[in-house]
Amino acid sequence: MSLRNIAIIAHVDHGKTTLVDQLLAQSGVFRANEATVERAMDSNDQERERGITILAKCTSVLWHGEAGETRINIIDTPGHADFGGEVERILGMVDGCVLLVDAEEGVMPQTKFVLGKALKMGLRPILCLNKVDRPHADPDRVLNDAFDLFAAMGATDEQLDFPHIYASGKNGWATLDMAKPNADLAPLFDLIVDHVPPPAAVPRAAEPFQMLAVLIESDPFLGRLLTGRIEAGKAVPGLPIRALSRDGKEIERGRITKVLAFRGLKRQPVDEGAEAGDIVAIAGLAKATVADTLCAMEVGEALPAQPIDPPTISMTVSVNDSPLAGREGDKVQSRVIAARLLKEAESNVAIRVTETSEKDAYEVAGRGELQLGVLIESMRREGFEVSISRPRVVFQTDPETGERLEPIEDVMIDVDDEFTGIVIEKLSARKAELKDMGPSGAGKTRISLMSPSRSLIGYQGEFLTDTRGSGVLNRVFSHYEPYKGPIDAGRKGVLVSNSDGETAAYALWNLEERGTMFVGAGEKTYQGMIIGENSRQDDLDVNPMKAKQLTNVRASGKDEAVRLTPPRRLTLEQAIAYIEEDELVEVTPKSIRLRKKVLNPSFRKKRVRED
């Protein structure tokens, strides 16, 4: 039986996970009467709720084609740039990849990112033009754009000679020729077997065992599981092994207690061992982590590990010290929060955690607001209570000139024609530079810009408002440039509670003319908590607990009924992006509250005067 290792890479929402569903179904992984779910690879709760892939996952199918029986290990990768650290590591353990491009949307920023990584690692991608059955699909235009992208990314002549195939992942068919429709994905399976080479490690089967750890997870029964591709030798339960760091230093010694191979959606123990070239998960070590080399005792050199792009966004995670702290969560101590953050950094190499000079606070750096938001959302579901600061960009210093550098992002926006003016005006004011603009079909315009990462923090909500929810903004880290100076985001002031208690409907009704409320009637608030957005630019201290005064004089008519406008509820990502430098987001398992760092209004004013 021959072996193939491939990754499915693409921009977000171009159909990777849906295509993998069909590959699993048509390869016979599921029984005819077996109940299945959509996006079977998205097993994480947040992945299902958000409709995105966050963690890379491996599956395996058997294909009986013209070349005989072939086992194909398929890795479904995330599409968001925030989770690019997953993609970089995954590409190091496959021999080929399928680049999926939406035949209507075409080449997008994340397409460039994942393709650049694949080409840099010497892979020869297969181009799959997906969703060709959509009404506005233009596969010929997208194919030409993809070829131009390959050339622009510095592809070799061999990589430029890429095969392409047309597909509808949702309907489960693929064809090499649009004039000759097909009923299933057999052409894609055959193309993978013919174009992707067998693992280069296969001839090294007689050498001592070597494997680079690419993914890490924890199992309640087996302990730490390290997943990777066997580069040489054979992984057998009971084999004595050691773990080496990138620089070749020994981390620990142990024995392989379990070898798990991917078979369909399940991991099955392989008692007789796994051969070189196969992708497996190994249990038995307690300290080894991502990018470490697992090897036989006689091996002295570590395998080369792919360097990871540095984080671009950071925020401070600290203990929740509000008056309502400890009422909704059970994990509130700084040592527990620190242990959870360090555990995340261990398994996710794109996240970096450092202690700060402040008491009970930690600096968490990552790829973007979404990645950090997913981490905090996971923690609140586990029972943590934390306070989050406004995200900040991670600056660098030019080693030659000493100049301050900031991250720049490649931004691509699709909006209705009528909204192009307001979008360009807002982003230009935020120091973004227009690169290109043109029609993208169906009354829409595609705008391409280069923008400082600072400009985009907190812009998503404003963008959706300006485009009435119809705009799509995609962004990916590009490079570092000299600092572009201060940026005025133009956020309005906030309404801040001046006392503790429960909000009263009558008070909120009177405050509605002042701005937009974030809280409803009967909710607990405290002094310094942000309860709404002011209609003006300055902050305003208000009393949301003030009840209507009762008198012994009857009114001639009935009192006017208090009818409140429904409050504007911010999601976690929206709240993190909304706050300013002097504000925090209080995150608990049940609530997301905005607050000032300094709760007392007198102390707050004193600090402003000192600044």
What predicted TM-score, i.e. pTM, was given to this entire model? 0.75
Closest CA to 35 of 218, 359, 265: 265
Beta strands 433-441; 592-596: pairing state: unpaired
502 and 467 inside one domain: no
502 and 474 inside one domain: no
Q: Does residue 332 belong to any structural domain of this protein?
A: no
Q: What confidence tens digit (pLDDT) does each residue in 561-572 have?
A: 678 889 988 888
Determine the Cα–Cα distance for residues 472 and 172; give it in Å rounded to an integer.
27
Q: Which of 276, 296, 316 is the last residue of a domain?
A: 296
CATH assignment of the domain containing 500? 2.40.50.250
Q: What phi and psi, each to the nearest 5 degrees, are found at residue 428?
A: -65, -40
542 and 415 inside one domain: no
Which residue has better confidence, 270 or 201? 270
Q: Are 324 and 526 in contact (CB under 8 A)?
A: yes
147 and 228 inside one domain: no
Residue 412 reports pLDDT greater than 80: yes
Closest CA to 69 of 4, 163, 165: 4
Residue 272 reports pLDDT greater than 70: yes
Three-state DSSP class for 295? strand
pLDDT confidence of residue 31: 44
- Percent of the chain at pLDDT > 70 equals 89
Mean pLDDT across 360-369: 86
Q: Which of 243, 261, 296 is the last residue of a domain?
A: 296
75 and 191 inside one domain: yes
- Please report how many Cα atoms fall inside a 13 Å half-sphere around the Cα of residue 353, on the Cβ side: 19
- Beta-carbon contacts of residue 523 (< 8 Å; ≥ 6 apart): 502, 503
Q: How far is CA 590 from CA 79, 231, 428, 522, 526, in A?
A: 29, 46, 38, 16, 17
114 and 156 inside one domain: yes
Q: What confidence tens digit (pLDDT) does each residue in 533-545 have?
A: 998 888 899 999 8
546 and 603 inside one domain: yes
Q: Does residue 339 belong to any structural domain of this protein?
A: no
Q: Which two tokens stand for residue 289?
A: 């982590």
180 and 246 inside one domain: no
Q: Are 508 and 517 in contact (CB under 8 A)?
A: yes
Number of structural domains the chain divides into = 4
List the single range of 205-209, 356-360, 387-391, 440-444 with lowest mean pLDDT. Answer: 440-444
Residue 601 reports pLDDT greater than 90: no
Q: Which two tokens stand for residue 191?
A: 């193309």
User: Which phi-psi region, left, alpha or beta, contains residue 393 (left: φ > 0; alpha: ψ -120 to 50)?
Assistant: beta
433 and 519 inside one domain: no
pLDDT confidence of residue 36: 42
Q: What confidence tens digit (pLDDT) does each residue in 420-451 have?
A: 999 898 888 888 999 988 887 778 888 899 99
Q: Does residue 382 belong to any structural domain of this protein?
A: no
Task: Give me the residues paired with residue 4 across strands.
Answer: 72
Q: Which two tokens stand for residue 310?
A: 């540095």
Determine the Cα–Cα distance for residues 557 and 548; give it in Å rounded to an integer.
16
Q: Which of 173, 195, 217 is the last residue of a domain?
A: 195
Closest CA to 136 of 568, 443, 449, 551: 443
CATH assignment of the domain containing 474? 3.30.70.240
Average pLDDT, the chain: 83
151 and 17 inside one domain: yes
Q: Which pLDDT band holds residue 50 (cuts at 50, 70, 90)?
A: low
Determine the Cα–Cα distance for residues 385 and 333; give it in Å rounded to an integer.
9
pLDDT confidence of residue 458: 75
CB atoms under 10 Å from CB of 457, counted, come to 21
Three-state DSSP class for 342? helix
Q: Which two tokens stand for residue 462?
A: 């404003």
Residue 143 reports pLDDT greater than 90: yes
Three-state DSSP class for 369? helix
Q: What confidence tens digit (pLDDT) does each residue in 221-238 have?
A: 888 888 888 988 899 999
Mean pLDDT across 309-329: 87
CA 322 to chain centroid: 29
Query: Most confidently modeled of 51-65, 200-214, 310-324, 336-350?
Result: 310-324
121 and 266 inside one domain: no
The domain in which residue 505 lies consists of 494-551+561-583+593-610
Q: Does residue 360 belong to any structural domain of this protein?
A: no
pLDDT confidence of residue 81: 56
Q: Which pLDDT band holds residue 611 (cuts at 50, 70, 90)?
A: low
Q: Which pLDDT band holds residue 399 (cuts at 50, 70, 90)?
A: confident
Q: Are 93 and 4 in contact (CB under 8 A)?
A: no
Mean pLDDT across 63-82: 74
165 and 212 inside one domain: no
Which residue has better confidence, 414 or 35? 414
CATH assignment of the domain containing 118? 3.40.50.300
First to last CA, the chain: 71
418: DSSP letter: G
pLDDT confidence of residue 492: 84
CB atoms under 10 Å from CB of 286, counted, come to 10
- Helical packing angle, 369-381 and 334-347, nearest 10°: 130
Q: Does residue 183 belong to any structural domain of this protein?
A: yes
CATH assignment of the domain containing 266? 2.40.30.10
pLDDT confidence of residue 32: 41
Q: Does residue 518 belong to any structural domain of this protein?
A: yes
Q: Does residue 306 belong to any structural domain of this protein?
A: no
pLDDT confidence of residue 531: 92
Q: Does residue 371 belong to any structural domain of this protein?
A: no
Q: Which two tokens stand for residue 492?
A: 């309005």
Q: What is the dihedral of CA 496, 498, 504, 506, to 10 degrees?
A: -80
Q: Which pLDDT band holds residue 33 (cuts at 50, 70, 90)?
A: very low
